[in-house]
Amino acid sequence: MTLSIFFELVEIKAKIASVWPFLLGLIFVQANFHQLNWGITALFFIAMLLFNMAVDINDNYQDYTKAGNQAAEWKKKTNIIGVQHLRIRRVFTLMASFAVIAGIIGLYLVWVTGWPLLVMGVLCFLVGYLYAGGPRPLSGTPTGEFFAGFTMGYLIMLITVYLNLYQTTAFNGGLMARVLLASGVAVMAIAALLLANNICDAKEDLDLERKTIVYYLGKRRSLWLFAGFYIVGYLSLIASVLIGDLPVWSLLSLISIPLIYRNVVAFFQIQVKKQTFILAVRNLAILALTTVLAELLGLWIS
């Protein structure tokens, strides 16, 4: 397996969806509590990336192994395992190895920091597996966007915050709600990315017997939901600044609105996977870059 094939198998381009909330968590802690535990945070970052890669490998693995004869052509021409003729056993071994290493690191961090991390970690592992695995994968239900956005956008940020505050009394229900608000822009952008994917794959999902939220809402309403996700994300960012959890300079990230709007309008016109799904990916990258840079600027100025 070449490096380029490996990167495609683990969907390396999508890793920004997990690194972004991690960075937001670090900024949130520094802005509000002025303390960072670099050693434990670095271990979590490694475990997070390994598990995220395991989840993406599992998505491809489950799609390939569960696709019936009616999807034989799809397996050959679309799924990375079929396209590159990868050995299915080797793919499974790689996936399991990443998940086990991430789990071992996670258990060590639980031993060091306490049971709240165990609860959050188990939830992440369950959603990570059930998203594509199990008798009824979450990716084929109307809840896929919610679980993925909540887990990646919110829980990754929350765990990052917890690992830097576990030795204090600051981590409580109120703080968890504040983190949820601050992570809203990431939660919504990730959910929008997955919704865009499902909109583009509406016909293919039916062939594979998946009933995503697009199946129930229809394409037009799904497109408006797609646009609505970004609006909610921006509003949560503004609200977090107003209550003082994010630096005022974070509002500088609102300069991304014209770019996001342009991409949303273009996606409304055409929903073709190879042609316009990239617009949702760009929106995620634009929001990640502008929010992180604006919040870092706010920290530096303050």
Task: Decide: 98 and 54 in contact? Cβ < 8 Å.
Answer: yes
- What's the CA gap between 107 and 183, in Å, rounded? 25
- What's the CA gap between 198 and 114, in Å, rounded? 38
% of the chain with per-residue pLDDT over 90: 56
For residue 28, the one-letter residue type is F
Determine the average pLDDT of the residues in 165-178. Answer: 91
Residue 274 is predicted with a pLDDT of 81
Based on its alpha-carbon atoms, the radius of gyration of the chain, rounded to whole angstroms, reads 19
Quick count: other Cβ atoms within 10 Å of Cβ 56? 23
Quick count: other Cβ atoms within 10 Å of Cβ 37? 17
Cα 236 to Cα 112, 178, 226, 245, distances in angstroms: 33, 10, 16, 11
Determine the average pLDDT of the residues in 79-103. Answer: 85
- What's the CA gap between 287 and 205, in Å, rounded? 28
- What's the CA gap between 167 and 206, in Å, rounded? 49
What sections of 201-272 are H helices per DSSP?
202-207, 213-217, 219-242, 257-269
Determine the average pLDDT of the residues in 116-136. Answer: 87
Q: What share of the chain is helix, strand, coil (3-state, %, to 5)?
A: 85, 0, 15
Q: 204 φ, ψ to 5°? A: -60, -40
**Better pLDDT: 61 or 110:** 110
Poorest-pLDDT segment among 76-80, 187-191, 213-217, 242-246? 76-80
Q: Is the pLDDT of residue 89 over 90?
A: no
Residue 82 is predicted with a pLDDT of 76
In the chain, how many H helices and how many E strands?
Answer: 16, 0
Q: Is the pLDDT of residue 75 over 70?
A: no
Quick count: other Cβ atoms within 10 Å of Cβ 33? 14
pLDDT per position as a tens digit, 132-166: 777 777 877 888 888 889 999 999 999 999 999 99
Q: Is the pLDDT of residue 231 over 70?
A: yes
Quick count: other Cβ atoms within 10 Å of Cβ 184? 23
Q: Is the pLDDT of residue 225 over 60?
A: yes
Q: pTM of the predicted model, to two decimals?
A: 0.90
- Sort residue 114 into left (φ over 0), alpha (ψ -120 to 50) or beta: left
CA 138 to the chain's CA centroid: 14
Map out the domains of the chain as residue ranges.
3-301
Task: Decide: 197 and 280 in contact? Cβ < 8 Å.
Answer: yes
Residue 251 is predicted with a pLDDT of 94
pLDDT per position as a tens digit, 15-65: 888 899 999 999 999 989 988 899 999 999 999 999 999 988 888 887 777
- Sort residue 141 into left (φ over 0), alpha (ψ -120 to 50) or beta: beta
Residue 236 is predicted with a pLDDT of 96
Kindly give, in sequence order, each residue whose CB lies less than 8 Å from that of residue 89, ignoring residues fewer than 6 positions away.
none
Determine the straight-line distance between the first and last CA of the chain, rounded to whole angstroms: 48
Residue 69 is predicted with a pLDDT of 53
DSSP-derived secondary structure for 270-284: ---HHHHHHHHHHHH
pLDDT per position as a tens digit, 249-302: 999 999 999 999 999 999 999 888 888 889 999 999 999 999 999 999 988 887
Residue 34 is predicted with a pLDDT of 87
